[in-house]
Amino acid sequence: MLGSTHGTLTSDLRARVVACGEPTGDAVHETAAVTDAAGEADVSGRPLYAAVPDLDRFFRPSSVAVVGASDTEGRPNAGITRQLVAWAERVGARLHPVHPSRASVFGRACVRSVRDLPAPVDLAVLLVSDPLPVVEELAEAKARFAVAFASGYAETGPEGAAAQARLAAAAERAGVRLLGPNTNLNAFEHFRDDLEGPAVALVTQSGHQGRPVFALQELGVRLSHWAPTGNEADLESADFIAYFAEQPEVGAIACYLEGLRDGRSFLLAADRAARRKVPVVAVKVGRTETGARTAATHTGKLTGTDTVVDAAMRQYGVIRVDGLDELQDTAALLARARPPVSDGVAVYAISGGTGAHFADLATAAGLRIPRLSEARQAELHQWIPAYLNVANPVDNGGHPVGDERGRKIIDALLDDPAIGVLICPITGPFPPMSDRLAQDLVDAAETTDKLVCVVWGSPVGTEEAYRSTLLGSSRVATFRTFANCITAVRAHLAHHRFTNGYVSPFDEAPRTPSPSFRKAQALMRPGEQLSEHAAKQLLRAYGIRVPREQLVTSAAAAVRAAGLVGYPVVMKASAPRLAHKTELGLVRIGLTSASQVRDAYRELTDIARYEGIELDGVLVCQMVERGVEMVVGVTQDALFGPTVTAGLGGVLVEVLNDVAVRVPPFGEDQARAMLAELRGRALLEGVRGGPPVDVDALVEVVLRVQRMALELGGVLSELDINPLMVLPRGQGAVALDALAVCR
């Protein structure tokens, strides 16, 4: 149903939403059918499921052509060719050097052009400054994939963007999937094959920014793939995310993103990963104007409005982090950790100060550190002196070295059903106690399904307990800072909470227009801002409640309308392209008599005449009081298309800027989550003796506005319902004013 993902709408709310024109019937698609349904589109004509490219022969080709191959020492292409020769040998691929004036390269016979290749190739690596002519020839070579190494395309400006478009068009004509341009050869690095367990797959738009994650192999974390996407003329980050989500060896996907080629493609890829419970962790630059500008000059990407990007990632469970150190630590933990049995965190420290410090930071970040039961505390005091606090954090005063007490303490904490994660912050090495503590933690981790984390705070990092004991264990997650540990554990718990209840909103997105859409079409005026009266008719078409009101063109008609609407009334000037009526003095409220109505009509029309505003009339409206003023609206984002906003409204909406954003489609759970994000959310529950308001009615309006965004996104540039008066619980919500701008 409209907007329903986690759980279902209440029966009353569902009935009212369906009455607005929501198609009924079973629209749920099983996960197994997603690939078959890749061609389906929603009511706006946009795809509902990701088409996953078959990239097996990109990462594991049977044959490779290197165009521009060289073995001349000191030349860049020689080093790259040598790397590709070694990589081809490791993956078992035949390598064919291509160069117009060489007979051989590194002892391999060389052909003059791709037309002369003895057989079709899976992959062509183009080490030439102008790859366009080569791409045009690849159709004859029946190549499946090509990598364009050259730069000087969209990252340089409009001329480069035009050249990139020509390159992409040539690849499409040749039937070749193209990686790049402005990329590198990180996909063909030496991946260690001696590491076990779930792997991290890496997607980066900048090759260098993936180096810290790639180096995780030196810490015992397996890496399976690296996709350096560059300018993404054809293959984009979303393609690789969707592909990696299907690979059984991938435990987490780590991304460095400067921009997104297409917002919907990214969300569909994230949706595919969420369906399969594969975590996606991303650094996404562009939080600031400077970062966005720099990213555009690097890979020619549109970074998008950061508020919308952030909201879209949260909707689909993408874990956004800020630093590359957070990216590597969080991805490594999510790839290797088993699902949590509880979200309770136990902090075990050899210092009361360390435990208190860590607990402060963890609690502020939203981790739950439950107080241990009296029985559990009594058990711990068998091995820990009675004067030390063991309620959680657990202060042992110094981990026992000479006997088995230390291990018994750790086992007792891991046996507690309230505890799902054990974290031991070690601020610095203190042999032999820290050595024994590390070994006890590793041994205990081997016997439990619960997550065991260690923060090794030594700046040196050469200690045996760290290098061999902790890093040698695949069952202990080891960090170097408190902050990164907390970030990763929070992400781990949040990911499993999210995926355990995840139902794709694309499954229930509307496919066909509602009756409301047909009514709304007649009201649209291309390129114009509608009058308030027309904008309210648009809302009424979608079942959104507006006040009783009449549009009048004379003082006498205004008096008659006031009698029908019922005193007190509000009077407002109504005209296309008229916004900010209050600032112009074009609103009168609380009118209680016919004389006041006549005077108000004359005043409003006089002001409009003085301001040069051509009115379509004056609205005489029911006066609605006793509620919380909210704002709900639709805006257009360059990356994601129509987006829905909800927040605190009224005349101070720009000052307060307390709004939340979602990208359609989304469900009732996300509509409620929007309200939970607001700083002023307590107003909805009632403050200073006021009654709680009708949150269900507010959620209903958000979902109806979302339906408008989906159906009218191609013709509606902007919608602003402000204020939306949310009345006390059970009394609904009323749109007191509305602004609509047509595209």
**Digit-coded pLDDT (tens) for 646-703:** 999 887 677 778 899 999 999 999 999 999 999 999 999 887 767 899 999 999 999 9
Distance CA 593, CA 559 (A): 9
- What confidence tier does 168 reach under pLDDT thresholds 50, 70, 90? very high
How is residue 315 written in tokens? 């909707």
Amino acid 652: pLDDT = 67
Distance CA 505, CA 173 (A): 35
Nearest in space to 635 (alpha carbons), one of 537, 706, 535: 706
- Rounded to an integer, the average pLDDT of 708-733 is 94
State the pTM of this model.
Answer: 0.89
469 pLDDT more than 90: yes
- What confidence tier does 286 reach under pLDDT thresholds 50, 70, 90? confident
User: What is the identity of the amino acid at 3?
Assistant: G
Look at the alpha carbons of 82, 87, 92, 93 in this order and tell me if their dihedral is positive or negative: negative
Asked if residues 295 and 303 have their Cβ atoms less than 8 Å apart, the reply is yes
Amino acid 17: pLDDT = 43
- What confidence tier does 30 reach under pLDDT thresholds 50, 70, 90? very low
296 pLDDT more than 60: no
CA–CA distances in Å: residue 614 to residues 164, 535, 561? 49, 17, 21
29 pLDDT more than 90: no
Going by C-beta distance under 8 Å and a sequence separation of 6 or more, which residues neighbour residue 562?
A: 569, 591, 594, 597, 620
Amino acid 287: pLDDT = 63
State the angle between helix axes of 695-712 and 11-19 in degrees (0 to 180), rounded to the nearest 10.
30
> Could you give the 3-state DSSP secondary structure of residue 228?
strand
What percentage of the chain carries pLDDT values higher than 90? 81
- What confidence tier does 608 reach under pLDDT thresholds 50, 70, 90? very high
Element (H, E) at 356: helix 352-364
Amino acid 21: pLDDT = 40
Per DSSP, what are the bridge partners of residue 629? 725
**Which of 343-352, 558-567, 622-631 is predicted least confidently?**
622-631
- Rounded to an integer, the average pLDDT of 351-355 is 93
Going by C-beta distance under 8 Å and a sequence separation of 6 or more, which residues neighbour residue 500?
A: none
CA–CA distances in Å: residue 376 to residues 373, 380, 415, 549? 5, 6, 10, 66
Which is more confident, 15 or 412? 412
557 pLDDT more than 70: yes
Per DSSP, what are the bridge partners of residue 189? none
Amino acid 289: pLDDT = 61
Amino acid 417: pLDDT = 96
**Which of 72-76, 182-186, 299-303, 417-421 is predicted least confidently?**
299-303
295 pLDDT more than 60: no
- Rounded to an integer, the average pLDDT of 514-535 is 92
**Which of 148-162, 295-309, 588-602 is predicted least confidently?**
295-309
How is residue 355 written in tokens? 């435990």
Amino acid 288: pLDDT = 55
Amino acid 731: pLDDT = 94
Across the chain, what does the average pLDDT equal? 90
Nearest in space to 62 (alpha carbons), one of 1, 133, 142, 136: 142
User: What is the identity of the amino acid at 691?
Assistant: P
What percentage of the chain carries pLDDT values higher than 70? 92
Distance CA 307, CA 291 (A): 14
Distance CA 227, CA 245 (A): 14
How far, rounded to the nearest angstrom, does the alpha carbon of residue 366 sit from its chain's CA centroid? Answer: 19
Amino acid 162: pLDDT = 96
294 pLDDT more than 50: no
Amino acid 8: pLDDT = 34
Asked if residues 680 and 648 have their Cβ atoms less than 8 Å apart, the reply is yes
Distance CA 396, CA 434 (A): 13
Amino acid 625: pLDDT = 80
**Which of 10-24, 80-94, 293-307, 703-717 is predicted least confidently?**
10-24
- Rounded to an integer, the average pLDDT of 537-560 is 95
C-alpha neighbours within 13 Å on the C-beta side of residue 456 = 25
- pLDDT tens for 233-279 read 999 999 999 999 999 999 999 999 998 999 999 999 999 999 999 99
CA–CA distances in Å: residue 585 to residues 251, 346, 581, 636? 61, 61, 6, 30
345 pLDDT more than 50: yes
Distance CA 511, CA 268 (A): 16
Amino acid 304: pLDDT = 55
- Rounded to an integer, the average pLDDT of 522-528 is 92
